[in-house]
Structure 1
Amino acid sequence: MVEAGHAPGQVGPVRKAVRESLIKAGVLKAHAQDVPVGLYGTERKDLLMRLIGGALDYIAPLALLGHADEELLALVATPNRKAMLVVDRRIVAEDDNVCQLTLAAPDGTKLRPWHAGAHIDIFLPSGRVRQYSLCGDPRREREYRIAVRRIPDGGGGSVEAHTLRVGDLVEISQPRNAFMMPLPGSASAKKKLRFVAGGIGITPILPMARLADRLCLDWSMLYTGRHPSSLPFLDEVAAFGPRARVRTDDEHGLPSPADLLDGVDGDTAVYACGPPPMIETIRRGIGHEVELHFERFSPPPVVNGVAFEAVLGRSGEVVEVGADESALAAIRRVKPNVGYSCQQGFCGTCVQRVLDGAVDHRDSTLTDLQREQGQMLVCVSRSKDGGRLTFDL
């Protein structure tokens, strides 16, 4: 699952609310399915989604002026949170470190539809927000299934999630998808699919493989990890037969690009999810003609980083940010309760306002308007040229 929210002000729900209000007013037509938030797991930015997101930042104030009534204002203020009941809990890896949770509406009603690659936010009792991929079957309309790997020395979210029990209530967001799978012969010009999963990275890959198998597409999977006992859902992977191969480091050593991409050619779209070293290995070995989509489950390494100072404007405290660490990591040394989730510049949970200084924006999430307003995702973005940044903290 993704260990990874929206920026303060609930940008996502505002856009959704404005869209719904425009549909009511007859300005937009409703569609059978939601437009995906973005496709940022691909090698190229999804320009169309960025343009739509940016346009809604300008449409929103106009829509509110034209249709400002109590119903609309209440809609805009509605948070993207839904109470869910834990209806099943089970351990799905031999080492006991991966827990599967099945969630359902307390009244048993149908849930929002989702597509392979989607994830949800989990709002844990402590206030932590984490993101986890949906790994069940989208055809099961009354439940969402996630799985969480316990990381004792992590940020505490996975450990807390492991304390949830059947009967507990927990709030979640609606599903959204940043790891869409265009199908060969439709939205993709490729003819074959290759899935590469590393450890808990199997969670978004499972629904993709099930869909590919059900549609009789040409697909294959490599599932890799340290040792068999650490790998969740081995029984479900084995059910795919010879198309899905398991490879572990204890038996074969660390995989090379050739190992991960065996049989991949220019007619193949690769979908990979796992730790940064695995993703980087794939990126090094993949050809330019191969279509690559990926999702990470931990922070990417800092590239071409320059050390700088972060000033906490409310206290005046100065924090040194190393060349190889994120501003988020440095700030959390002195303010451990600062919100964060994905640590990859996607979810928006860690957004902070910059009062002074030039920002090197390294995310694909914030719109130009948000950046002009001083917003910065401190998990990936940095100071430009090492200059001091002052935050509203």
Structure 2
Amino acid sequence: MVGLLDLVQKTMTTPHPLDRYLELVRPTLTRRSMRAKITHVRRSAVGSVTLTLEPARQWSGHVAGQYVQIGVVIDGVRHTRCYSPVNAEGRRDRHIELTVKAHPHGLVSNHLHENAIPGMVVDLEPAAGAFHLPEPRPEQIVLISGGSGITPVLSMLRTLADEGYRGRILFLHYNRSPEWVPHRQELEAIAMQHSNVRIEFRYPEAVRGQVWGGGALDSGPSGVGERSGGAEGGKNRDLGTANPPAAKRRANQAERDANFGYDELESLAPWFPSAQTYLCGPPGLMAAVRTVYEAEQLGDRLHSEEFTLTTAVVDPADAEGKVTFSDSGVVAENTGESLLEQAESAGLNPEYGCRMGICFSCTAVKRSGCTRNLRTGQLDSDPDQPIQICINAPVGDVDLAL
């Protein structure tokens, strides 16, 4: 009791925020911000680490497919990134499970992969994102992912399995090789326990340059199939003209690059036109799947989440004007890059999270000038407007409150 009284007295007689003292009692006990403690660390797949987090009481859970933003301190600097929980929604112990892939130049992902240990505390934001399972559940579901894009759709599959979902499910995942697939054993177990679930693994890079004919499936657990190399042809039935236009040739190339096409999907789930499809993966796979669905006029049944930012390339020679970071008194020549990249090049350290326009961590007020959204191409010349500097580039002179 004496210790508690001393703590209360300090909070009333010193200028430090209350959270500074609550941290002394428990690192995750804060009033304004939310934190989580890492309780388990597992490295069962090549190149990734799975973390189990015990969040503070403020945590209200997530909907399968959503993402959370976590913050870690590296060399004295706080960095934030967005990751999708892989656990089913509504977990009874309220814990969060994140699988983080260590990307070649990923500061936070590599830090967590190499240094995460039980007891480490991270900052945590509430779950967000519109990519999630709807209510009521669709009658049939296709889940397609590639690489680290497996995380949100795995949460969806786990949720459906826990709910005893009775509709047909195809789970199609692309990766380098079996050892790179996180949670592979659990996926196989789900397929064995649920006759309505079909799990398929594809390893396009396993056998480069070899044509696999029909691509005979390797035998595996009931409901599980896998194939190394790409399926032959991989063509969309509406794109296989003798001399296709340039747009169709590019679409065909996207399908070949991803080893995905109409024939592949129809062979696995001939019922896919009546299903709802959820997609997350690298740009090549995303483009190939969209090509099929657009050709089949099924765009309204395809729901996707991007974890990389695809932007139009800007030639520095076409960039004009200057960027004024008025709060810092810094003026720089416009290079055509995003405002976030230009701010960093100018020696500033603006806060950011996902760098792809999802988490809104990098929002700043544009005082004047015109900007272009790098994702949509839309121009905005309204003054005194908050913009996301990671996905907006200056068009001519721009003054940013940074």
TM-score (norm 1): 0.68
Distance 1:179 1:361 in 2: 21
Q: List aligned pairs for 1:219-368, cutoff 5 A.
A: 219-241=169-191, 243-249=198-204, 250=206, 251-253=228-230, 254-258=258-262, 261-262=265-266, 263=269, 265-286=272-293, 287-290=296-299, 291-302=301-312, 307-309=319-321, 310-313=323-326, 314-322=328-336, 325-335=337-347, 337-361=349-373
Which deviations, in whole Å up to 9, do the C-alpha atoms of 1:156-188 show, x marking residues without a partner? Answer: 1112223221012222112223212125xx375
Q: What is the deviation of 1:196?
A: 0.4
How far did 1:148 drift?
A: 0.8
**Would the alpha carbon gap of residues 255 and 335 (structure 1) be closer, same or farther in structure 2, given more than 3 Å must change?**
farther
Q: Of the candidates 104, 108, 125, which is equivalent to residue 157 of structure 1?
A: 108
Partners of 2:111 and 2:179 lie apart in 1 by 22
Consecutive unaligned residues of structure 2, counting only runs of 5 or more, are 1-30, 192-196, 207-227, 231-257
Please say if residues 110 and 141 of structure 1, whose CA atoms lie closer than 8 Å, have aligned partners that are also in contact: no
After superposition, the Cα gap between the structure-2 partners of 1:279 and 1:316, relative to the gap in structure 1 and judged at 3 Å, is: same
How far has the Cα of 1:285 moved from its partner? 1.9
Cα 1:372–1:104 change in 2 (3 A) is same
- Structure 2: which amino acid aligns with 1:318? A
Residue 215 (structure 1) aligns with:
165
Structure with the bigger RCO (C-alpha within 8 Å, sep 6+) is 1
In the TM superposition, residue 327 of structure 1 has moved relative to its aligned partner by 3.2
Per-residue CA deviation, residues 168-222 of structure 1 (Å, 9 max, x unaligned), is 2222112223212125xx375xx42110011111111112112334211221111
| Residues 150 and 267 (structure 1), Cα distance of their counterparts in 2 relative to 1, 3 Å cut | same
**Residue from 145, 149, 157 that aligns with 2:97:** 145
Q: What is the CA–CA distance in structure 2 between the aligned matches of 1:157 and 1:91, rounded to whole Å? A: 16
Distance 1:299 1:260 in 2: 27
Q: Distance in 2 between matches of 1:260 and 1:344?
A: 30
Q: In structure 1, what residue type is equivalent to 2:168?
A: D
Normalising by structure 2, what TM-score? 0.66
CA distance in 1, matches of 2:264, 2:68: 28
RMSD (Å) for aligned C-alpha atoms: 2.9
Residue number in structure 2 paired with 1:51:
none
Q: 2:51 aligns with which of 101, 110, 117?
A: 101
Percent identity among equivalent residues? 23
Alignment CA distance shift 1:136-1:389 (3 Å): same
C-alpha change, 1:260 and 1:139, in structure 2 (3 Å) is farther
Q: Which residue type is aligned with residue 346 of structure 2?
A: V
SS where residue 291 of structure 2 aligns? Answer: helix
> 2: CA distance between counterparts of 1:104 and 1:178?
24
The 5 A counterparts of 1:32-181 are 79=32, 81-93=33-45, 95=46, 97-105=47-55, 111-125=59-73, 126-142=77-93, 143-154=95-106, 156-162=107-113, 163-181=115-133
Deviation at 1:259, TM superposition (A): 6.1
Check 1:279–1:327 CA distance in 2 against 1; reply closer, same or farther (3 A cut): farther
1:22-45 CA distance string (max 9 Å, x none) = xxxxxxxxxxxxxxxxxxxxxxxx
